[in-house]
Amino acid sequence: MTTGRIEAFSDGVFAIAITLLVLEIHVPEDPENGLGAALLDQWPAYASYVVSFFVIGIIWVNHHAVFDYLKVADRPLLFLNLLLLMFVGLLPWPTNLMATYMQEGGADERIAAVVYSGTMAAMGATFGALWIYASRHRRLLGDTLSAEEIRRRTVRFVAGSPLYTLSILVALVSAPACLALNALLAVYYALPAGGAMAHRRVT
C-alpha cells in the first residue's frame, strides 16, 4: 500500500466528514415566534459547524504535512490512520450533540461539551501517536527533516494531549467556553509554528 493511496482515501473521508457537518443544521419547523427568531435561537448549530469545519480542515492540512515526509507506509501506520479517520468520521455526531444541547443549560449541556472535547482529544492523541510511530528512529521518514525539525514537530503534536485534556475540564464548567477553547486550539494548529505547515511548494 503506497502512501499516496492512503492519502487519497483519507482525503475522501476528510472531504465527506466536513461536508456532512451541514446535516446537523436543521430547518426550523413551524416556528412559534417566526422563522427569524427560530434561526437566531439555533446559533450553537452555526458556531459548532464553523469550529468543526475548521478543525477538520486543519487536521487535513497537518495530515498532508505529515504524509509528505513519509517514505514508506507499513501496517501499524495503516491502522493508526484508520483509527484517526474513525474519529474524524465520527465528528459530525458530537458536533450535532453540541448544537442540540448547548442552548439547553444544566448538566446535559456540559455532558455534550465533554463528549465533543473528548472526541477532539481522541483525534489529537491518535494524530500524535501516528506521528511518534512514524518518526521514532526515523522509522518511516526519509532524510528531508533534520533531527531538530522532527523534535519540534513531536513537541507540537504531543502538546495537543494536555491542551485537549484541559478543554475537557473546561467543558465540565461551560460549554460555550469549551467550544471557544477548541476554536483556539484549531488556530494554534493552523499557525506555522513548528514549521509543520510552513513549507510552500511549486505545483
Question: Distance between CA 83 and CA 127 in Å, rounded?
Answer: 9
Residues, the chain: 203
Question: Distance between CA 20 and CA 45 in Å, rounded?
Answer: 13
172 near its own copies, judged by CB under 8 A: no
At closest approach, how far in Å is the CB of 26 from its own copies?
8
Interface stretch with its own copies, choices 12-20, 144-152, 161-169, 170-178 (CB under 8 A): 12-20
Count, residues near its own copies per rule CB under 8 A: 70
Instruction: Decide whether 14 or 131 has the Cβ nearer to its own copies.
Output: 14
At closest approach, how far in Å is the CB of 56 from its own copies?
10
Core vs surface per residue 173-200: b (16+ CB within 10 A) or e: eebeebbebbbebbeebeeeebebbeee
In this structure, what C-alpha cell is assigned to residue 30?
Answer: 413551524
| Residues 67-96 interacting with its own copies (rule: CB under 8 A) | 70-75, 78-79, 82, 85-86, 89-93, 96
Instruction: Decide whether 162 or 184 has the Cβ nearer to its own copies.
Output: 184
At closest approach, how far in Å is the CB of 17 from its own copies?
5
Query: CB-based burial of residue 203 (10 Å sphere; 0-12 exposed, 13-18 middle, 19+ buried)?
Result: exposed
Question: Distance between CA 37 and CA 45 in Å, rounded?
Answer: 14
Residue holding cell 458536533?
A: 95
Instruction: Decide whether 86 or 155 has the Cβ nearer to its own copies.
Output: 86
**CA nearest to 48, candidates 11, 89, 14, 98:** 98
Instruction: Using CB under 8 A, list all residues that contact its own copies.
Output: 1-5, 8-9, 11-23, 25, 27, 29, 31, 34-36, 39, 49-50, 53-54, 57, 60-61, 64-65, 70-75, 78-79, 82, 85-86, 89-93, 96-97, 100-101, 107-108, 111-112, 115, 190, 192, 197, 199-203
